[in-house]
Structure 1
Amino acid sequence: KGFTTGANSYGQLGQGHVEDMRVPRLSDSSVLQNRAVRTLSGGGGHSVVITESGELFVCGQNNKGQLGLGHNADTSAFQLCPILNQRVRSVSCGWDFSLLLTDCGQLLACGSNAFGQLGVGEKIKQTADFLTLKEPVLSVAAGLRHSLVVCDSGSVYQWGTGLFSHAKRTLSPRPVPSYLCAKVPCLVPGKAQRTPHSVVAGSTHCVCLTGEGDLFMWGSNKHGQLTTSEPFLPSPTLLKPSLFNGEKVISVWSGWTHVVAQTESGRVFTWGRGDYGQLGRRASINQKTEQHSADSVSEGGHKASEACFPEEVKVLHGATQVSCGSEHNLAIVGGRLLSWGWNEHGMCGDGSQADVYPPQLVPDLRPALIGCGAGHSMAVCAAATGLRQTVDST
């Protein structure tokens, strides 16, 4: 059974209406009955579900064609998307576009191309077509207005101009690297003999996890999300393993302005912007880490020290899944659902609109799968009759 909560202005919760929901409620997902779900994902105002058989179901905002349905009408209920009869393996949603990775490693892009984020050149404004990449894709990431992939060979490509203005402002008079202003896939150099394994993207930053358990980051550091005093890092820069007590990183996730990483022992670290509670701890708890950061002013007048270096959130230890929205998060720990961060639209599922600082339990819900959009949350549960009784009585 699928449950959704949070922002719903475009029907992205799949509830059949456009009213925000402050507690998880069963979505109108009759088309998904008897189908096992593989992944849940969301963008600025749209949601995407992939089944184990590779079918694609979509709902929500579609003004730029980001649902891949061949039209621009929003839909408040999940619909099957017949994308060229391809089996979809994974998806990453940007603000108003979607990147779909097929079982054979081909990449399909649909939605807005106003910033070249679809990777098909600048003449096409919207599309639903395959990108021309010379090799199969392993991992894909959509930021606010930029995109990243890791290919089979370990090469990393980037496109979309979403980071260009930040780069130009902070790097001048130095030139902006081509991959930060490309409208077709452009090779990202660096990574010092490591083997890229996966990529994630924030609103204006990029993260690459290697097979060796190292993290490389580049882009804007406005909120300290790159753990440096520099306002902008133009090329992939290695995060010191000492930041994670020397442990290898096995998974990484990113919101718009914060990052979450899990190490090989199951410890979960967060860093970056934290004023909505998206780091899972109050700012006062972070003060002891700020002494490690330079007191220099970065882009936009923000100090690098305002957003701390990676710090463990102990209640998240052993998390089996984590998902980041723009400024909120979900995690499955011990089979239970935890939420924290920005909650203006009720996406933390506690019935309020107050931001959530320490991760809190979402009662009566034992999800098998979770996913976030920018301001909404999704979960698939094997059985949740108790929750249905709870939310129906509210």
Structure 2
Amino acid sequence: MPFTLLAAGSNAFGQLGTGSLQDAHRFTPCVFGDYPPGTLPPNTQSILQLASGANHSLILLRRTGSDKPQNELWGAGDGSKGQLGPSRRNRALPSTSVFHPIDQVPDGYEITNIAAAWETSYIVFSQDGRDDILMSMGADDFGDLGVGGVKAQGSGKERLIHVVDLIAAIGSVARGTLKVAELVAGPHHIVARLDFVDLSGHVVQRLLGWGASRQGQLGVISRAVTSPVEIQLSQSWSRITQVSLGNQHTVFRHFDGSVTALGSNRRGQLNNISSLRAITAVQCTWNGTTAVASDDCTSLVSSSGTNEAGQLGHPCGEPGFAQVNLPLDDRLVGEIVCGSEHTLVVLKSIDGRDELWGWGWNEHGNLGTGDTSNVQTPIRLWPPVAGEGVADCDPIVSWAGCGTSWVLCTGKSSAFHVESAEDAPRGFCTPT
């Protein structure tokens, strides 16, 4: 069954990849190169990851090649700081409103992980039996590149691609093959969850971070960290299985279902977070935290933090996590993602008709509702309530960024809505 990628929201630099520079107030087909809108490149098996910054987006595709499946990196939006690679940085028009391949793969390696900060991109390259390589490209605000500051790289020709030294930050550790299990970026701080695998298969986990840390979101207070440092949690903790970042806070989900956090609680984003139990997923907006507790039969979504634009999905009452009002009687949470200040959830139904729901900030139409009104409580976004022409396009996974949203569907709708070129909010959001 064919895949269709749709996008909505902020698009002043073409970061949605829809072939336009206008904000999309409804979910609109993405464009890859010269292929027809709404279609992925031929022989695409899946979208492995999608990452987006202020005005650029990265997509990691899994495609079948002539010999074997391979991963390919594509990008759209603003490349003026080098965040889409040297070829786009050196062009007279560095922005692109459709997705194009980014070819930066060393011989013998494969791209296995990507992330995007405000104007910076990160790519992880892997090869069996060798350490992973992490490359960064783009802006270095707050040390986002992770290379000690670009001025420390020496004079001469400007470097556009940097190798982040992960080994230097690790103290005594049972040395083995270094693998980047997870790489997550907020607007200006980055966390890498590393696994060292020895010859016997034993795994030692370490956490590294760099970038902004004025609020202690990396465990280091009142200064930016320009090179990776090891993150130390202040209490005994089980193995970390997921990391999520807000603007000034960092949340860790552990193997035992508990949650720990670092950084700012000025907006209540960490209120009573240590009391959460049996958590199966955690996501952060810039100033909020959303947690999911699920088993085989039920799901419960709760959130805490700022609520000026309906980001919590529930009336803000007593401080701390409160339940989001989703129709979960006969559904489970299949996927949950947070953008800058909005949230998307794929709800899986027992009858096989999955739906995309969402709530929160909608200034750029990023919830795909057709307007720019904020959404205070969860509503169904896809299939649209009207239902015209969408019977054959079921959402399976979603992503969210800075005023942007994406949904991958199976099947192909017979009638997509494509935004006209009429006036729409353009600009871009700014961290608060």
Q: TM-score, normalised by structure 1?
A: 0.81
Judged with a 3 Å threshold, the aligned counterparts in structure 2 of structure 1 residues 387 and 356 are, in CA distance, closer, same or farther, namely: farther
Judged with a 3 Å threshold, the aligned counterparts in structure 2 of structure 1 residues 197 and 82 are, in CA distance, closer, same or farther, namely: same
Shift of 1:186: 0.4
Largest Rg, 1 or 2:
2
- Structure 2 unpaired stretches of 5+: 63-69, 168-177, 196-203, 349-353, 385-389, 423-432
Amino acid at match of 1:177: V
DSSP-derived class of the 1:115 partner? helix
More off after superposition, 101-110 vs 142-151: 101-110
Amino acid at match of 1:15: T
Partner residue, 1:95: 118
Partner residue, 1:79: 100
For residues 216-275 of structure 1, the C-alpha deviation after alignment (integer angstroms, 9 at most, x for no partner) is 1111112111116xxxxxxxxxx333xx3xx32121111111111112333222111111
8 Å CA contact 1:139, 1:149 repeated in 2: yes
Judged with a 3 Å threshold, the aligned counterparts in structure 2 of structure 1 residues 167 and 249 are, in CA distance, closer, same or farther, namely: closer
8 Å CA contact 1:249, 1:264 repeated in 2: yes
1:13 aligns with 2:16: yes
DSSP-derived class of the 2:362 partner? coil
1:217 aligns with 2:264: no
1:107 aligns with 2:110: no
8 Å CA contact 1:204, 1:219 repeated in 2: yes
Aligned with 2:343 (options 307, 326, 329): 329
Partner residue, 1:131: 164
Cα separation, 1, equivalents of 2:278 and 2:161: 38
8 Å CA contact 2:184, 2:244 repeated in 1: yes
8 Å CA contact 1:44, 1:374 repeated in 2: yes
- Structure 1 unpaired stretches of 5+: 169-175, 229-238, 291-307
Shift of 1:193: 3.9
8 Å CA contact 1:62, 1:74 repeated in 2: yes
Partner residue, 1:51: 61
Larger % of helix: which? Answer: 1
Partner residue, 1:156: 207
1:250 aligns with 2:280: yes
Judged with a 3 Å threshold, the aligned counterparts in structure 2 of structure 1 residues 79 and 392 are, in CA distance, closer, same or farther, namely: closer
Cα separation, 1, equivalents of 2:358 and 2:159: 34
For residues 331-384 of structure 1, the C-alpha deviation after alignment (integer angstroms, 9 at most, x for no partner) is 110211112111111010010100011111121452222111201111121224
Shift of 1:41: 2.3
Cα separation, 1, equivalents of 2:209 and 2:406: 28
1:196 aligns with 2:248: no
8 Å CA contact 1:159, 1:179 repeated in 2: no
- How many residues are aligned here? 348
For residues 114-151 of structure 1, the C-alpha deviation after alignment (integer angstroms, 9 at most, x for no partner) is 21112111125874233222332111111111111111
Amino acid at match of 1:319: V
Partner residue, 1:172: none
DSSP-derived class of the 1:54 partner? strand
1:267 aligns with 2:300: yes
8 Å CA contact 2:237, 2:254 repeated in 1: no
Judged with a 3 Å threshold, the aligned counterparts in structure 2 of structure 1 residues 316 and 126 are, in CA distance, closer, same or farther, namely: farther
Partner residue, 2:183: 140
Partner residue, 1:42: 52
DSSP-derived class of the 2:363 partner? coil
8 Å CA contact 1:23, 1:346 repeated in 2: yes
Partner residue, 2:313: 280
8 Å CA contact 2:25, 2:370 repeated in 1: yes
8 Å CA contact 1:22, 1:353 repeated in 2: yes
DSSP-derived class of the 1:184 partner? strand
Aligned with 2:31 (options 3, 28, 48): 28
Amino acid at match of 1:240: S
Cα separation, 2, equivalents of 1:116 and 1:6: 28
Amino acid at match of 1:150: R
Shift of 1:194: 2.1
Partner residue, 2:372: 353
Larger % of strand: which? Answer: 2
DSSP-derived class of the 1:358 partner? strand
Q: TM-score, normalised by structure 2?
A: 0.75
8 Å CA contact 2:269, 2:305 repeated in 1: yes
